[in-house]
Structure 1
């Protein structure tokens, strides 16, 4: 497929230079359905990005669209702050019945604001309030959001620099396999905690991603996560799992930490929780941590009722049984086989992932961006991740068909070959 870059005059004239995705995908998109997007010139693109993980159930999912249209047409409440509404009640009941009770999770639910970074900020604030301490431990290559508190526990130097002020009260520790297995897990972390001369203030909490999406698809082993949970309990630190990109079924189970058999103290959820790509986020925490005063943390758009509607429809449709989890794991095996074949053919490449989040890493780091560029020209949307954009990240919709998944993987393999 030959793509002619459109004239983007109005975007270039009026929109800030901060825009990014549109630079790698120079098209004007007009429609989207399922795993496909269509530009205004009639070109079709297979989407292996899914709104950075916000569209786990595809674009304009017909079940969710119908629920949303019906709600809007009957003049359902759109903006409700944190008032009680029928839409919020339906979501909470569905979340309790389909997600929390089957997993024996005791969490209270907080609606902190519309985005993932809002959930992280609320989690950090609550942890500090509960423990009466300021320090938060995060991990190398972590990404937790773009607001100041979230940036303070983010590893990427480029993103941190954008803050323009010192980012304090966060301490990074090595993520799983940071030293390629040459150093015992948590040796440095525990030594600092126990050494009165280390200079590390006793942390209120530890925040971690089970799979670091923006950090390069770095997958934490279940045993590492269990050891981290045990360390937090021994040292009186809260464990926060950031499940914003890896939750809602991306790794197979609804929560990415389920495989490790742990119960975090606090969990942040966003992106695909609404199911339809609408802004919505949750902070989940154990009941004994719910020491908020009424109105102590609020926000104008924390009650997105149309998102509650599609979220409830998502849970009732896809999470009332285990079929979605089984399907995601099966699709993941399909991706793994294709990536293994690419790496066997192409030296200097490596792959890793879980469920339907995978990364193809290039030792020749600029090649990852070249692969994404060529993939776009061939009609496939993929993006890079990692501290030096050295990883091609695959985030197809969980509902993608085996045929579409196979087509996209073949296109990716062609893009890799043609950029060798």
Structure 2
């Protein structure tokens, strides 16, 4: 499509240089519905980004919007810290009845603050408090957030460098297949744990993503996750699963670890838990770990009542009958088939793909190709971003509610972008 360059002067003169997504997508967006965004000139863009995974149910989902508007129109509480409110009660009851109880989970629910990194910080703090130890083990290419504690267990060198101080008390271990299958799983990790001369302080916990989104769509095998859970049990370490981007149905089941049949000690959830893009984060943990003193971890925006409203509406609308999981897996098969076709049609590019549910990535030997593909896709009306430590992976993250026709439209645009961005 032909796009007139928008006037970006106020963003360039007033807003900080730290801005990023707006550089990749030089448009001024005005409205959005479902899987489409529209700029102020009326150009339409199909969204395979979904708010970095915060919009699993699409933009301005009508069911969630109606619940939110009704709540606001009756002057429902909008700010309540951690006070008891009707909106919080409705969310907790719905989350317990729709998500926790059917999965035989008795985890307590904590509202640590509005973002994913707040959830990670509280999880790390709680693990250290419970175990009385400082060390946390994370994995290569992990991403857990931008605050200091979260950065200490994040792998990306560029993001870590932004801290400006040493990031301590975190130890990285190889993620699944990091060594290309040449070494048995956890052989190095377990050897360090059992050797008193290894120099590894006994960890309080291990934090892991089942699928590393920002790290390049690296998918952990179910057997690897089960072996990790077993290792944590044997060596008295808590298992923290960061489900901030991959939870809320992104990989199929509501929690991304369900396929592996494990039950983590601590789980962090954010992004799409509100369903509407409103800030909300949860830290879930087994009841015996609830050793907090009142007010020991708090925050002004730890109780986002409008987000409670849309979150409860999303759970009621999509997670009662198992249909959302089946639909996501079907859409995932559609993506997988299309990506296989793209690879076949472009043999000289040497690309390969990986993913689960509705999170997929395409990688090429030419590490700059992903960026070119995403730029060309934008020109063609598709929003898609890169991921990986060198932005070498094209990352697909469409809404779970996307129709087969919309998904096919976006995959056709992607195929064209791959052809034309060589």
The TM-score with structure 1 as length reference comes to: 1.00
Tell me by how many angstroms 1:3 deviates.
Answer: 1.9
What are the equivalent positions in structure 2 for 1:231-380 lying under 5 Å apart?
Answer: 231-347=231-347, 348-380=350-382
Segments of structure 1 that go 5 or more residues without pairing to the other structure are none
1:190 paired residue number:
190
Within 1, Cα distance between the matches of 2:136 and 2:324? 35
Tell me by how many angstroms 1:24 deviates.
Answer: 0.4
Within 1, Cα distance between the matches of 2:297 and 2:409? 46
2:388 paired residue number:
386
Within 2, Cα distance between the matches of 1:415 and 1:5? 20
Within 2, Cα distance between the matches of 1:3 and 1:323? 39
Within 2, Cα distance between the matches of 1:253 and 1:362? 29
Within 1, Cα distance between the matches of 2:192 and 2:185? 13
Within 2, Cα distance between the matches of 1:314 and 1:374? 34
Tell me by how many angstroms 1:100 deviates.
Answer: 0.2
1:150 paired residue number:
150
- Deviation track 1:114-154 (CA, whole Å, cap 9, x = no partner) reads 00000000000000000000000000000000000000000
- Deviation track 1:195-221 (CA, whole Å, cap 9, x = no partner) reads 111110000000000000000000000
SS state at 1:340 partner: helix
Tell me by how many angstroms 1:5 deviates.
Answer: 2.0
SS state at 1:75 partner: coil
2:66 paired residue number:
66
SS state at 1:101 partner: helix
- Deviation track 1:355-410 (CA, whole Å, cap 9, x = no partner) reads 00000111101010000000000000000000100000000000000000000000
What are the equivalent positions in structure 2 for 1:222-233 lying under 5 Å apart?
Answer: 222-233=222-233
Within 2, Cα distance between the matches of 1:343 and 1:130? 48
SS state at 1:151 partner: helix
SS state at 2:352 partner: strand
SS state at 1:352 partner: strand
SS state at 1:267 partner: strand
Within 2, Cα distance between the matches of 1:388 and 1:344? 24
2:173 paired residue number:
173
Aligned pairs, number: 420
Tell me by how many angstroms 1:4 deviates.
Answer: 2.3
1:19 paired residue number:
19
Within 1, Cα distance between the matches of 2:246 and 2:19? 24
Within 1, Cα distance between the matches of 2:276 and 2:409? 24
1:108 paired residue number:
108
Tell me by how many angstroms 1:7 deviates.
Answer: 1.5
Within 2, Cα distance between the matches of 1:326 and 1:315? 16
Tell me by how many angstroms 1:27 deviates.
Answer: 0.1
2:213 paired residue number:
213
Tell me by how many angstroms 1:2 deviates.
Answer: 1.6
Tell me by how many angstroms 1:255 deviates.
Answer: 0.0
The TM-score with structure 2 as length reference comes to: 0.99
